[in-house]
C-alpha cells in the first residue's frame, strides 16, 4: 500500500469539505435574497402544501415554489436545508431534502420544534452546508487503510499499481438463457458472472449499459441472495432501481429519491413499510401512544394528587407504546431488507444505519465515471467483489477545491483501472445516434470501435437533410458577456440565432423532443428566462440545461450553444474534451452546434470538429440568420 496516496485522498476530502463550508458561509451570510436566488440556494416564499410523518416519526413537509419558477437551482434530494419563517420570532427547522419534482420539494425535519409548524409569516427553504458526506468519506478511507480483508488489500494494491498485478482474464462461458442482448453485451454479462475481484463494463453513449447491467443482476440473483447496486447520484440510483423493478426483481430503494410519486415511490423503505400487512398494527400502536400523550397534556397547572398520578401513568404509557412501535418498525424494516433481492442506494447512502452489518457477494457501481474514489470504497467495503459500469471518457465527478484537484480527487477508480485491467468490456453497438452524429466522437474518443445499429443509423427528422450541422457565427458580432457575480458567460446573439433556426423548422420539429444545452450556467439562465417570456416555443417539447446537467439524457434534436467569442481565442473549460464528448452524444436524429469558430478553433479538438463537419455535415454561416 502506498501511504501517500491514501493520505492525499484524506487531505483532498478535507480540502473539498472546507471549500464547500466556506462557500455556504459566504453566500448565506453576505448575500441578499436576490443574490441567493441567483446562486440557486433558496426557494423564497414557498407554500406549505401538506405535512405528514415518515418512518421513525420524522415530520415530512411538502412545499411548492411560488416565485422564480424557471430559474435553475442547486436543490436536489439528499442535501441539507433549513425551512424558516421571515418573522423575527418565526420558526426555523433543519432538515434533509427527500424528494424534488419541478416546483415542489419535500423536506424531512431532523431538528427543531414540530408543533404548530409555520402558522404565520413568509416561508423560505434554503440550502446549508452539510458535513455528513465528507465525514462518511473520511471514516471510509480510514477503514480502507486499516482493513486486512483479502479483497480490500488486493484492490488497494491494484489501484496503487494497476499493471503490477496479473488479474486473470476471464474467458466467458456460454449463456444458456436467451437474453435480450447483443453478442458483445452477452460476453460482458457472461464474463462478469465469473470475475473474482474486479470487472468493468465500459458503456459509451447509447450502447445499452443499463440494459446490460440489469440482465447481469438477474443472472447474479440466481446464485446470490442479494445484490447491492449503487450510483453516485440519487437520479442514477432511481433509474437503475426503476428498471430492476420493471424486470420483476424485488427491489428496495434505500435513502432519498428524486422521483417519488412517479415510477419508484413503491420501492422506498417508507412505502414498502406502509404497504406491509404489519403496518396497520404499528400505526395502531402509534395512535394509542399519541392518545396517551394527549391525555397527559390535558393537565396543565392546578391539579390534585390523583390527577398527577394519572398524568404520570399516561406519560409512562405513551413512552412504552412509542418504544414498542419503534421496535415493531425496526423488525419490519429488517424483514423488508432481508427479503429484497436488489438493494439500491447512493454510494454515500451505503453507509446508512439501515444497511449496517450487511455484506454482499457483489456490489455493482453504476455511473462510476462520476464517482469519487472514497464514495466507491463506502460500498466496496460491504462486498467481496465489485463491478464498475460507466464511461471514463465522459465527465468526471464535480470537484470545487483547486487543492483537492491537485491532490487527484477528480481521478476515479474507473480512470485508474479501465485501461489497465484485462476484464474491461467495451460495449460497441450504439442504439441512439444517427451515424453522422456519432462519427466524430467515435473517431476522437472511442478509437473508431463503435458501430451503429440498423434501427438508428439513418433515422432523421422528417424532411430534414442535415442531421449534423455547424452554424459558424464568426464575424456576426455575437460577443460573449461575462457576469462577475455568477462568474459565468452568456451570449444573447447565439440564443437569437437558435430561436430563429427553430422557428424556421417548427413544423418539422413538432412531435420531437428538443434540448438546448450549453457549457455555461449563465447562458442556461439567460435562455430559460428568455424562453419563459416568449410564446415562440409553447408548442414544442423543449428542455434547456447545462452540458453537465444533461449527461445521461438524450433528445431527438440537440442545439449546443458554445458561447465563447473573443479576439484572444480563450475558451476556458470548453477545452475539456470529456465535456465535448457528452455534448456531442446527446442527440438522436439532429445535432446543431452554434459557435464562433474563429474563437473555438484555437483548440485542436474543435478545429478537427469544424473540419469534420465541413467535410461530412452541413457547415452553415451565422450570416444566414442575421436580421437587418
Verify that 105 and 145 share a domain, yes or no.
no
Q: What is the pLDDT of residue 301?
A: 61
Cα Rg of the chain (Å, integer): 27
What pLDDT shows up at residue 311? 79
Decide if 15 is inside a domain: no
Last residue of a domain, one of 377, 402, 426: 426
Q: Residue 464 has what pLDDT? A: 95
Same domain, 542 and 615: yes
C-alpha cell at 339: 427479503
Q: Is position 222 within any domain?
A: yes
Domain end call among 426, 443, 470: 426
CATH of the domain at 198: 3.40.50.300
Cell of 232: 453516485
CA distances from 231 to 137, 371, 372, 438 (A): 15, 8, 11, 26
Phi, psi of 566 (to 5 degrees): -155, 160
In percent, the amount of the chain with pLDDT more than 90 equals 65
Answer whether residue 22 is part of any domain. no
How far apart, in whole angstroms, are the C-alpha atoms of residue 601 and residue 595? 10
Please indicate, yes or no, whether residues 298 and 208 belong to a single structural domain of this protein.
Answer: no
In a domain, 267, yes or no: no
- Whether 272 maps to a domain, the answer reads no
Query: Do residues 285 and 300 both lie within one domain?
Result: yes
Number of structural domains (the chain) is: 4
Same domain? For 527 and 575 the reply is yes
Separation of alpha carbons 213 and 339, rounded Å? 21
Number of H helices, E strands in the chain: 20, 23
Q: Are 472 and 508 in contact (CB under 8 A)?
A: no
Residue 37, domain CATH: 2.40.30.270
- b/e 580-613 (16+ beta carbons within 10 angstroms → b): bbbbbbbbbbbbbbbbbbebbbbbebbeebbebb
Residues 81 and 95 in one domain: yes
Query: Are residue 538 and residue 442 in the same domain, yes or no?
Result: yes
Which parts of the chain register pLDDT below 50?
261, 628
Asked whether residue 96 is domain-assigned, the answer is yes
Q: Residue 495 domain-assigned?
A: yes
333 shares a domain with 346: no
Residue 534 shares a structural domain with residue 418: no
Which of 426, 461, 493 is at the close of a domain?
426
Do 79 and 38 reside in the same domain of the chain? yes
In this predicted structure, what is the pLDDT of residue 111?
Answer: 67
What range defines the domain where residue 197 resides?
A: 136-250+342-426
pLDDT score of 81: 92
What's the confidence (pLDDT) of residue 261? 46
List of residues 6+ apart from 176 with CB closer than 8 A:
none
175 lies in the same domain as 54: no
pLDDT given at position 318 = 84
The verdict on 307 and 361 lying in the same domain is: no
Residue 17 lies in a domain: no
Amino acid at each position: 500500500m502506498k501511504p501517500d496516496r491514501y493520505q492525499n485522498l484524506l487531505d483532498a476530502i478535507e480540502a473539498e469539505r472546507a471549500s464547500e463550508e466556506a462557500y455556504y458561509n459566504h453566500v448565506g451570510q453576505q448575500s441578499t435574497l436576490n443574490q441567493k436566488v441567483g446562486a440557486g440556494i433558496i426557494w423564497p416564499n414557498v407554500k406549505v402544501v401538506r405535512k405528514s410523518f415518515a418512518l421513525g416519526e420524522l415530520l415530512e413537509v411538502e412545499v411548492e415554489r411560488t416565485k422564480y419558477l424557471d430559474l435553475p437551482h442547486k436543490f436536489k434530494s439528499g442535501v441539507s436545508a433549513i425551512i424558516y419563517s421571515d418573522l423575527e420570532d418565526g420558526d426555523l427547522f433543519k432538515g434533509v431534502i427527500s424528494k424534488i419534482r419541478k416546483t415542489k420539494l419535500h423536506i424531512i425535519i431532523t431538528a427543531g420544534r414540530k408543533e404548530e409548524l409555520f402558522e404565520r409569516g413568509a416561508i423560505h427553504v434554503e440550502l446549508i452546508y452539510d458535513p455528513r458526506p465528507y465525514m462518511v468519506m473520511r471514516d471510509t478511507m480510514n477503514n480502507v487503510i486499516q482493513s486486512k480483508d483479502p479483497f480490500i488489500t488486493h484492490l488497494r494494491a491494484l489501484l496503487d499499481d494497476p499493471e503490477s498485478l496479473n488479474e486473470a482474464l476471464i474467458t466467458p462461458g456460454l449463456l444458456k438463457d436467451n437474453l435480450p442482448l447483443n453478442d458483445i453485451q452477452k460476453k460482458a454479462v457472461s464474463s462478469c458472472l465469473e470475475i473474482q475481484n474486479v470487472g468493468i463494463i465500459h458503456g459509451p453513449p447509447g450502447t445499452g449499459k443499463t440494459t446490460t447491467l440489469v440482465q447481469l443482476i438477474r443472472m447474479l440473483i440466481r446464485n446470490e441472495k442479494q445484490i447491492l447496486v449503487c450510483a453516485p447520484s440519487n437520479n442514477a440510483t432511481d433509474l437503475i432501481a426503476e428498471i430492476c423493478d420493471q424486470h420483476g426483481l424485488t427491489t428496495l430503494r434505500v435513502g432519498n429519491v428524486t422521483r417519488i410519486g412517479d415510477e419508484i415511490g413503491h420501492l422506498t423503505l417508507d412505502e414498502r413499510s406502509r404497504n406491509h400487512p404489519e403496518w396497520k398494527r404499528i400505526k395502531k400502536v402509534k395512535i394509542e401512544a399519541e392518545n396517551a400523550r394527549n391525555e397527559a397534556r390535558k393537565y396543565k397547572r392546578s391539579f390534585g394528587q390523583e390527577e398527577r398520578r394519572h398524568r404520570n401513568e399516561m406519560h409512562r404509557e405513551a413512552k412504552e407504546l412509542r418504544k414498542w412501535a419503534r421496535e415493531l418498525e425496526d423488525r419490519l424494516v429488517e424483514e423488508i431488507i432481508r427479503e429484497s433481492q436488489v438493494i439500491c442506494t447512493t454510494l454515500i447512502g451505503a453507509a446508512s444505519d439501515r444497511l449496517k452489518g450487511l455484506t454482499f457477494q457483489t456490489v455493482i457501481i453504476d455511473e462510476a465515471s462520476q464517482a469519487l474514489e472514497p464514495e466507491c470504497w463506502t460500498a466496496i467495503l460491504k462486498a467481496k467483489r465489485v463491478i464498475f459500469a460507466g464511461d471514463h471518457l465522459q465527465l468526471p465527478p464535480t470537484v470545487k477545491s483547486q487543492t483537492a484537484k491537485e491532490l487527484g480527487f477528480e481521478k476515479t477508480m474507473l480512470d485508474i483501472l479501465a485501461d489497465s485491467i484485462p476484464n474491461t468490456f467495451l460495449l460497441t453497438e450504439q442504439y441512439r445516434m444517427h451515424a453522422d452524429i456519432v462519427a466524430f466522437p467515435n473517431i476522437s474518443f472511442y478509437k473508431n470501435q463503435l458501430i451503429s445499429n440498423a434501427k438508428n443509423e439513418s433515422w432523421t427528422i422528417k424532411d430534414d437533410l442535415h442531421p449534423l450541422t455547424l452554424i459558424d457565427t464568426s464575424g456576426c458580432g455575437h460577443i460573449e458577456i461575462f457576469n462577475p457575480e455568477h462568474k459565468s458567460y452568456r451570449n444573447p446573439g447565439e440564443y437569437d440565432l437558435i430561436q430563429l433556426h427553430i422557428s424556421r423548422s417548427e413544423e418539422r420539429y413538432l412531435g420531437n423532443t428538443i434540448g438546448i444545452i450549453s457549457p455555461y450556467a449563465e447562458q442556461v439562465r439567460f435562455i430559460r428566462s428568455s424562453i419563459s417570456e416568449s410564446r415562440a416555443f409553447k408548442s414544442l417539447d423543449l428542455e434547456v440545461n447545462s452540458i453537465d446537467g444533461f449527461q445521461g439524457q438524450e433528445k431527438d434534436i440537440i442545439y449546443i450553444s458554445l458561447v465563447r467569442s473573443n479576439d484572444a481565442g480563450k475558451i476556458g473549460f470548453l477545452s475539456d474534451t470529456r465535456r465535448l464528448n457528452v455534448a456531442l452524444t446527446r442527440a438522436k436524429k439532429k445535432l446543431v452546434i452554434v459557435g464562433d469558430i474563429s474563437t473555438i478553433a484555437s483548440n485542436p479538438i474543435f478545429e478537427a470538429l469544424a473540419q469534420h463537419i465541413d467535410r461530412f455535415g452541413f457547415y452553415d454561416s451565422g450570416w444566414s440568420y442575421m436580421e437587418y
